[in-house]
């Protein structure tokens, strides 16, 4: 069972979040401050942290930064009553993976937690499964019911990026910067060429399709039950 650590100085919020997460099938630990959270992490394997900002002693920003400075890549969902853009920006700059404002929508929070845990598994395993399709980052291969294909590096990285965030729209510029790098001399037409190659390779694949969103960019369209 996946273990989630709630770090919040408000007893009522800890109880509420613990009840919601337990009902959703997670194992839950609670801490009222960063120091207590560190003690728990020394003795338990934590898969994700739900973190408040305003706490006694070390605040949430400092705690997230401490974890990142120590090399921890544990997913962090920051929950706070602070709603200003500069607060959200500081949260992400400190190393948090996602940010929600209180009071939270339970359903949205659970979806975001599911997404963060999924991405963390993809990163650690370097392996991505969508239905019967399996992408192996180390070998740059894609296997499905029709066989196995070794993809050129950029094609594989582009497909891996899109399928890591199913049904999310990426602009050509985002994909260009993520895959080719901001200093690349390539144009966004390069993305279109690689997208067309991927479509041709996987035109008979039933697990996903790459869709053009006119005026925006592309997404990997995946049925919800395959995610």
* Distance in angstroms (rounded) separating the CA atoms of residues 26 and 3: 6
Q: Could you tell me if 104 and 8 are in contact, meaning their C-beta atoms sit under 8 angstroms apart?
A: no
Residue 117: pLDDT over 70: yes
Q: What percent of the chain has pLDDT over 70?
A: 97
**Domain of residue 59, CATH code:** 3.40.50.2300
63 vs 121: which has the higher pLDDT = 63
Q: 141 and 218, same structural domain?
A: yes
Neighbours of 149 (CB within 10 A): 14
Angle between helices 106-125 and 11-23 (to 10 degrees): 70
Instruction: Using DSSP, state whether 6 is helix, strand or coil.
Output: strand
Q: Could you tell me if 143 and 133 are in contact, meaning their C-beta atoms sit under 8 angstroms apart?
A: yes
Residue 224: pLDDT over 80: no
Q: Which of 109, 125, 141 is the last residue of a domain?
A: 125
Q: What is the pTM of this model?
A: 0.65
Q: 89 and 25, same structural domain?
A: yes
Q: 158 and 64, same structural domain?
A: no
Q: Which of 82, 102, 125 is the last residue of a domain?
A: 125
Residue 187, token pair as written in the block: 């144009």
Q: 131 and 105, same structural domain?
A: no
Q: Total domain count for the chain? A: 2
* Distance in angstroms (rounded) separating the CA atoms of residues 144 and 146: 5
User: What are the backbone dihedrals phi and psi of residue 199, each rounded to the nearest 5 degrees, phi first?
Assistant: -60, -40
**Domain of residue 148, CATH code:** 1.10.10.10
Neighbours of 170 (CB within 10 A): 20
Q: 201 and 135, same structural domain?
A: yes
Cα-to-chain-centroid distance, residue 222 = 16
pLDDT confidence of residue 215: 85
Q: Which of 125, 159, 182 is the last residue of a domain?
A: 125
Q: Which domain holds residue 72?
A: 3-125
From the number of C-beta atoms within 10 Å of its C-beta (0-12, 13-18, 19+), residue 25 rates as exposed
Neighbours of 1 (CB within 10 A): 8
Q: 102 and 25, same structural domain?
A: yes
* Distance in angstroms (rounded) separating the CA atoms of residues 226 and 130: 6
Q: 181 and 146, same structural domain?
A: yes
Q: 95 and 85, same structural domain?
A: yes
Report, as an integer, the average pLDDT of 94-102.
Answer: 90
Residue 226: pLDDT over 70: no
Q: 109 and 99, same structural domain?
A: yes
């Amino acid at each position: 069972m996946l273990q989630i650590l709630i770090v919040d100085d408000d007893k009522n919020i800890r109880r509420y979040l613990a009840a919601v997460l337990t009902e959703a099938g997670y194992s839950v630990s609670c801490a009222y401050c960063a120091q207590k959270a560190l003690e728990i992490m020394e003795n338990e394997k934590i898969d994700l942290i739900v973190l408040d900002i305003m706490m006694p002693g070390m605040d949430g920003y400092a705690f997230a930064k401490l974890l990142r400075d120590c090399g921890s890549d544990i997913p962090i969902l920051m929950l706070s009553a602070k709603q200003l853009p500069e607060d959200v920006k500081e949260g992400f700059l400190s190393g948090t993976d996602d940010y929600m404002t209180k009071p939270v929508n339970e359903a949205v929070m659970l979806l975001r937690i599911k997404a963060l845990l999924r991405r963390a598994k993809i990163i650690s395993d370097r392996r991505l499964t969508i239905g019967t399709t399996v992408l192996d980052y180390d070998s740059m291969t894609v296997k499905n019911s029709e066989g196995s294909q070794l993809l050129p590096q950029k094609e594989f990285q582009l497909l891996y990026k899109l399928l890591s965030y199913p049904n999310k729209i990426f602009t050509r510029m985002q994909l260009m910067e993520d895959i080719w790098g901001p200093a690349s001399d390539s144009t966004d037409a390069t993305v279109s060429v690689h997208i067309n190659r991927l479509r041709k390779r996987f035109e008979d694949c039933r697990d996903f399709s790459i869709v053009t969103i006119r005026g925006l960019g592309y997404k990997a369209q995946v049925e919800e039950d395959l995610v």
